[in-house]
Amino acid sequence: MVNIPSSMDDPIPPAEVEDVELYHSHSWWTTYVFSQDAKVIAIQYSMTAMAIGLVALVLSWLMRLQLGFPGVFTFIDAERYYQFITMHGMIMVIYLLTALFLGGFGNYLIPLMVGARDMVFPYANMLSYWLYLLAVLILVASFFAPGGPTGAGWTLYPPQAVLSGTPGGADWGIVLMLLSLIFFIIGFTMGGLNYVVTVLQGRTRGMTLMRLPLTIWGIFTATVMALLAFPALFVASVMMLFDRLLGTSFFMPAIVEMGEQLQHAGGTPILFQHLFWFFGHPEVYIVALPAFGIVSDLISTHARKNIFGYRMMVWAIVIIGALSFVVWAHHMYVSGMNPNFGFFFATTTLIIAVPTALKVYNWVLTLWRGDIHLTLPMLFALAFIVTFLNGGLTGLFLGNVVVDVPLSDTLFVVAHFHMVMGVAPILVVFGAIYHWYPKITGRMMDETLGRIHFWVTFLGAYLIFFPMHYLGLLGMPRRYYEMGETAFVPPSAHSLNEFITIVALIVGAGQMVFLFNLFWSVRHGKDAGGNPWRATTLEWQTPTTPPPHGNFGKDLPIVYRWAYDYSVPGAAEDFIPQNQPNDDRISREPS
């Protein structure tokens, strides 16, 4: 690695990495389609993720129509309903959020924010996107395959996932789902290695680890976790594929299906659950940590104040990442595993609450004595704090093993995870898009449309998911195509379900405003200039906007300070870019 001077008084040698002509692409195809430029790949990832995410959104409307008005929409039968649930959940978690945060924001922001020309392995990075696209296409194909997509729930629990009582279980659905996951994971691994190596090896001079913006810390840690967690899903998928296609019995015990003895024997369904959640729990944080990182930077920039407790924030991200590998079985308290596991997993789970809470405190303390600009990114960041806090606190119910017993598999769980890993990260995605759009396109997104979008999304999502907790407390199970006549469910609960459905449709419509804004502003948005938010990090200091291939023109920037020199006493402006020399010695970055 380059020798980085440890004290700011050392003379700093000039950048060695110069822009090299050879490296640029020369044809339209290699510039825009088979591009190796991380920024183009980022946009490809993001557009694909949003397109498939739109499918998941439409599926959520259909599910809500059925739940709010059971029996009215006759084309939604039980089979379709379970297929919708499964595809909705899987797409939202993996093909939208994971792809968008890591493939999208990761690709765009890592090289720019660490001061690199590109990812370290651009070719593998390009392959990563094309494998992701292939995975998405296989997933979409399952909608048209005989028997339709799988309806096993996004958790794909065997044995039902591969049996005929579940849609797609004995047809193509589950096979295509597993294949798609396998390709996704291979593709992700290629991208993920890039993100990690680029953060570790590609940083420009002066960019020490403890000067990285928290966005990068979040994406970096999430990627390391994903590289360690996805293999568990990978083996589980391969084994289940063998069970389904070759008749092995990794997860299949002796089974009598509809009166018929099956050939399987000796496998254990619980093993799959352990593998799935060994991946699945870290997955929650793979989505959450980039959101944590990004929201920290949004708050700091738009409150014109350094993030409070930067080092604590970094350590909290790392500790949460590490601990999240030893809490997976909190999803299995009532799975039938040895109940004594409950003591261990409840304890680890509640311990994670402490670093997580500290992050929330530090976000709010960053607002304290700030100079809060209520821009669109700031509004979304505030909404994130509210929804994440809400979802995090209900996590304390579900993590506390005995409290989980009545609540697990009810709508309380659905409400909880939507709040914490659905709504909260999506709000950050929106905030981040409003924030970085001017860098990506050179134009601002429309403010009025953005505000409409914000209020509809924030308040709507809260109205959908907050009351839903109480239906779960009442005892309504999740994954119910229809409640039917159930003595303990009062008619008022059905009215609440209708209300939730109507709000969900409105929130969905609100997203169309966003999409319109996204495309319209490319040409018609206000001119943004290079640094409209007056931010300190390197991506805002590029010679041109949007940044050129190679990002920084002839010389790479040299970093002299941390990412949070906002409102430094004695400074002329209320921000000092990271690449501004520290002659004045007024920064007080923690060290």
Partner 1 sequence: MAVVLILVLVAVASVLFHLLSPWWWTPIASNWHYIDNTIIVTFWITGVVFVAVVLFVAYCVYRFRHRPGLKAHYEPESRKLEFWLATVTAIGVAAMLTPGLFVWHQFVTVPSDATEVEVVGQQWLWSFRLPGADGKLGTSETRDVTSDNPLGINKNDPAGLDDIIISGGELHLPMDKPVKMVLRSIDVLHDFYVPEFRAKMDMVPGMVTYFWFTPTRTGTFEVLCAELCGVGHPQMRGTVIVDNDEDYKTWLGQQQTFTQLMASGETKTVN
- Alpha-carbon span 435 to 378, nearest angstrom: 9
Judged by beta carbon distances under 5 to 8 A according to partner kind, the member of ligand HEM, partner 1, Cu ion, none in contact with residue 88 is ligand HEM
If the CB atoms of residues 93 and 568 are measured against Cu ion, the closer one turns out to be 93
DSSP 205-248: TT--GGGS-HHHHHHHHHHHHHHHHHHHHHHHHHHHHHHHHT--
Binder of residue 442, out of partner 1, ligand HEM, Cu ion, none (CB less than 5 to 8 A by kind): none
Cβ nearer to Cu ion, comparing 387 with 517? 387
Query: In Å, what is the CA distance from 567 to each residue of 293, 294, 327, 389, 574?
Result: 21, 20, 40, 28, 4
Give min distance, CB of 163 to partner 1, in A. Answer: 6
Contact 171, 150 (CB under 8 A): no
Q: What angle do CA 286, 547, 121 make, to 5 degrees?
A: 55
Backbone angles phi, psi at 267, to 5 degrees: -80, 170
- Give the C-alpha separation, 284 to 80, whole Å: 27
Contact string (CB under 8 A) for partner 1, positions 75-94, x = contact: ---xx--x------------
Smallest distance from ligand HEM to CB 399, Å? 18
Least gap, CB of 86 to Cu ion (angstroms): 15
- Applying the rule CB under 8 A, the residues between 474 and 533 that interact with partner 1 are 474-475, 477, 479-484, 486-488, 490, 492-493, 496
Residue 503 beta carbon to partner 1: minimum distance, rounded to whole angstroms: 14
- What x-and-dash track marks residues 542-581 binding partner 1 by CB under 8 A? ----------------------x-xxxx----x-------
DSSP secondary structure code for residue 418 in this structure: I
Positions 187 through 226 that interact with Cu ion (CB under 5 A) = none
| Chain residues that interact with ligand HEM, rule: CB under 6 A | 60, 63-64, 67, 85-86, 88-89, 92-93, 97, 153-155, 414, 418, 421-422, 426, 461, 464, 478-480, 504, 507
CB crowding 252-278: b at 16 or more within 10 Å, else e: beebeeeeeeeebeebebbebbbbbbb
Query: CB under 5 to 8 A by kind: which of partner 1, Cu ion, ligand HEM, none does 414 bind?
Result: ligand HEM
Q: Is 281 in the site for Cu ion (CB under 5 A)?
A: yes
Cα torsion through 54, 57, 61, 66, rounded to 10: 120
Residue nearest to ligand HEM (CB): 89
Asked if 340 is part of the footprint of partner 1 (rule: CB under 8 A), the reply reads yes
What token pair was written down for 575?
A: 């921000």
User: Which residues ranging from 430 to 459 are in contact with partner 1 (CB under 8 A)?
Assistant: 459
Q: Considering the complex, what minimum distance in angstroms separates the CB of residue 487 from partner 1?
A: 6
Minimal distance, residue 327 CB to Cu ion, in Å: 6
Task: Count other C-beta atoms under 10 Å from residue 539's C-beta.
Answer: 25
Least Å from the CB of residue 477 to Cu ion: 8
Q: Looking at beta carbons, which residue is closest to Cu ion?
A: 281
Binders of partner 1 among residues 168 to 227 (CB under 8 A) are: 169
Name the binder of 64 from ligand HEM, partner 1, Cu ion, none, CB < 5-8 A by kind: ligand HEM
Residue 146: strand, helix, or coil: coil
176 contact, one of Cu ion, ligand HEM, partner 1, none, CB 5-8 Å limit per kind: none
Task: Work out which of 403, 452, 502, 506 binds partner 1, going by CB under 8 A.
Answer: 403
CB of 255 to partner 1, least distance (A): 5
Q: Give the single-character DSSP code of 179.
A: H
Helix (H) or strand (E) holding 260: strand 260-261
- Restricting to residues 117-156, name those near partner 1 by CB under 8 A: 151-153
Question: Which residues, in sequence order, are CB contacts of 127 under 8 Å at separation 6+?
Answer: 187, 190
Q: Between 159 and 206, whose beta carbon lies closer to Cu ion?
A: 159
Q: Rg of the chain's alpha carbons, rounded to an integer? A: 24
CA 454, CA 383: separation in Å to the nearest integer? 9
Residues in contact with Cu ion, counted by CB under 5 A, come to a total of 1
Residue 391 or 547: the one with the smaller Cβ distance to ligand HEM is 391
In the bound state with ligand HEM, the residue whose beta carbon lies nearer, of 63 and 329, is: 63
CA 288/CA 50 separation, integer angstroms: 18
Closest residue by Cα to residue 291 from 421, 96, 193, 189:
421
User: Binding partner 1 by CB under 8 A: which of 170, 318, 386, 502?
Assistant: 386
Helix (H) or strand (E) holding 257: strand 256-257
* Token code pair at residue 318: 């790392």
305 binds partner 1 (CB under 8 A): yes
**Nearer CB in complex with Cu ion: 67/112:** 67
- Segment lying near partner 1 (by CB under 8 A), choices 15-23, 111-119, 136-144, 334-342: 334-342
Taking CB under 8 A as the criterion, the residue among 130, 133, 409, 505 binding partner 1 is 409
- Residue 440, φ and ψ in degrees, nearest 5: -75, -40
Longest dimension (CA), the chain: 82
Measured CA to CA, the distance from residue 63 to residue 478 in angstroms comes to 12
State the minimum distance, in angstroms, from the CB of residue 82 to partner 1.
Answer: 6
Q: Would you say 278 or 454 has its CB closer to Cu ion?
A: 278
Dist. CA 63–CA 450, nearest whole Å: 27
Q: Residue holding tokens 């047809």?
A: 171
Q: Give me the residue label for tokens 């002509």.
A: 21
338: left (phi over 0), alpha (psi -120 to 50) or beta: beta
Using CA atoms, how far apart are residues 66 and 336, in angstroms rounded to an integer?
Answer: 31
**What is the residue whose two structure tokens read 């966005």?**
215
Q: Which is nearer to partner 1, 194 or 348 (CB)?
A: 348
Rounded least distance, CB 277 to Cu ion, Å: 7
Q: Which residue number, 54 or 350, has a Cβ lying nearer to partner 1?
A: 350
Binding to Cu ion by residue 435, rule CB under 5 A?
Answer: no
Residue 270 sits in the site that holds partner 1 (CB under 8 A): yes
Residues that bind Cu ion (CB under 5 A): 281
